[in-house]
Structure 1
Amino acid sequence: MVCLPLDGLHSLPQVQALVEELSPFVGRFKVGKESFTRFGPEVVRLVHRHGAGVFLDLKYHDIPNTVKGAARAATELGVSMFNVHAAGGLAMMAAAVEGVKEAGPLTGAAPKVIAVTVLTSIDGEVMNRECGVPGAVEDQVLRLARLTQAAGLDGIVCSAADMHALRGQLRPGFLFVTPGIKGTTTPAGDDQKRVLSPGRAVAAGSSLLVVGRAITGATDRRAAAREILQDIAGVLLHVQPSG
């Protein structure tokens, strides 16, 4: 349920040390643009050697044929999840799904394909004035989420704060991957604007929490990870039916 980003590291030994330290607490690590550009596919293989899954966060956004090829390559690499930008449109997203279907039989596994809706660093003012998209952030997230569903993807990336606008609007089993998750150890100056605590995010319906600086910025990273897991467990126990 918790995914830890691997960005901000400058050597593979640093990556290995972090994965070894925190893999008992998180089942998946996020390989983003920085780490993939710096280390290439080897960083994915390193995580796999430690028995953890990889969320390949490269946010593909290109013409459909190019994205289809990238989706095939991601599937062949063995990642458990990767993403595209929903703003790329229906045909582009459908091409990503097709790429997975083509490569899946060769690898024996098919990664989940999710789409980015509105980045968690963007609030209503930025979206309206700078991006030129009118309306509320929640409306744009829902619009792109419906487009993602129509393209046959598995879910979306969205802020946990936007979940209230999505409940009941999408098919059962649709995944909600939520970055911008804060904790009591989150450093000052965080650039994520639409954030929630781990427990509140799970209560809102999040499927996978991307937790970065709340863990990696802590003095005791294992303790911070335990605190987040306890926050999630408290919510899950509270919502379990009695009996």
Structure 2
Amino acid sequence: MQGRPLIVALDFETKQEVTSFLTRFPNENLFLKVGMELFYREGPRLIYELKEQGHQLFLDLKLHDIPTTVKRAMSQLAKLEVDLVNVHALGGVNMMIAAKEGLEAGTNMGKVAPPCIAVTQLTSTTPEMLLHELDVQTKLDKHVIHLCDQVSKAELAGVVCSALEVPVIQEKFSSSFLTITPGIRRQEDSTDDQARVVTPTKAKLLGSTGIVVGRGITRAKDPVTAYYHYLQEWGK
């Protein structure tokens, strides 16, 4: 993954909706995120087609299982030749190591395995939820740093996290440690189900490596204009 991407989350149900959205960007090679909803319906064929169109892809499946299962799954995902993949940090160090091993083993000869990053805590997670529902007694920001430590030990490329956590993460880890931040909304956009939300400008100031934007672009009345507004604020 190069540069500081603005990653557009394809929060659609079907390939037809994706195609309709992308026809608005005939001359753009976008960095797109395909998540569980879309991948589980359309499968690998959609990934191949989007890659053939010249787009970069973040395959966001947040793998979280026993190490052997994750290793085998990543070996299969590596064959899709996407540009970024992820696991959930709560799976533990051994699982994350296995994920990286699977990626490297499954990558086609002559190709480079994509970076693997790990989700720390979802941007929908609140301190109250962490304490009362998940029974984690550590404060949210400290728990995120603890998970980042595990990601670093596993030698993954970085994390998915809230932009609000980026300064502390960057202070503790190397400049090459990726911080990909969802929960990005322009000032006039709805926050929907996100609890920890920042603007593209704030994410830039906080030092995010890349931002992920979904509904602020895909559900906008004019997605192309919205995309360029986000891009301008992000300062890519």
Please give the TM-score of this superposition, normalised by the length of structure 1: 0.90
* Corresponding residue number in structure 2 for 1:159: 162
* Corresponding residue number in structure 2 for 1:168: 171
Question: 8 Å contact 1:78–1:107 — kept in the other structure?
Answer: no
Confirm whether residue 3 of structure 1 aligns to residue 7 of structure 2: yes
* Corresponding residue number in structure 2 for 1:218: 220
AA partner of residue 167 (structure 2): H
Instruction: Give the 5 Å matches for 1:13-92.
Output: 13-22=16-25, 27-92=30-95
Q: Which runs of 5+ in 2 are unaligned?
A: none
* Corresponding residue number in structure 2 for 1:241: none
User: What RMSD in Å do the two structures reach over aligned CA positions?
Assistant: 1.6
Q: How many aligned residue pairs are there?
A: 232
Aligned partner of residue 168 in structure 1, secondary structure: helix
The 3 A distance-change label for structure 1 pair 7 and 107 is: farther
Tell me which moved more, 103-112 or 204-213. 103-112
Inter-partner Cα distance in structure 2 for 1:194 and 1:22? 29
Identical-residue share of aligned pairs (%): 37
The C-alpha deviation readout for 1:202-224, integer Å capped at 9, x for no partner, is: 22111111101111121111111
Question: 8 Å contact 2:29–2:54 — kept in the other structure?
Answer: no
* CA displacement at 1:66 relative to structure 2: 0.7
* CA displacement at 1:105 relative to structure 2: 4.8
Question: Could you tell me which of 228, 231, 236 is aligned with 1:229?
Answer: 231
Inter-partner Cα distance in structure 2 for 1:18 and 1:42? 18
Question: 8 Å contact 2:170–2:177 — kept in the other structure?
Answer: no
AA partner of residue 223 (structure 2): R
Confirm whether residue 93 of structure 1 aligns to residue 96 of structure 2: yes
The C-alpha deviation readout for 1:47-106, integer Å capped at 9, x for no partner, is: 112101111111000010110111111111111111001000000000011112212352
Confirm whether residue 199 of structure 1 aligns to residue 165 of structure 2: no
Inter-partner Cα distance in structure 1 for 2:204 and 2:86? 21
AA partner of residue 192 (structure 2): D
* CA displacement at 1:185 relative to structure 2: 4.7
* CA displacement at 1:24 relative to structure 2: 5.0
Inter-partner Cα distance in structure 1 for 2:82 and 2:23? 18
Inter-partner Cα distance in structure 2 for 1:170 and 1:140? 15
Confirm whether residue 147 of structure 1 aligns to residue 150 of structure 2: yes
Highest RCO, 1 vs 2 (Cα 8 Å, sep ≥ 6): 2
The 3 A distance-change label for structure 1 pair 16 and 107 is: farther
* CA displacement at 1:186 relative to structure 2: 2.2
Stretches of 4+ moved more than 3 A in 1? 22-26
AA partner of residue 164 (structure 2): A
Question: Could you tell me which of 168, 180, 183 is aligned with 2:183?
Answer: 180
* CA displacement at 1:182 relative to structure 2: 0.4
Please give the TM-score of this superposition, normalised by the length of structure 2: 0.93
Inter-partner Cα distance in structure 1 for 2:166 and 2:26? 28
Question: Could you tell me which of 116, 123, 127 is aligned with 2:126?
Answer: 123
Inter-partner Cα distance in structure 1 for 2:193 and 2:110? 38
The 3 A distance-change label for structure 1 pair 182 and 137 is: same
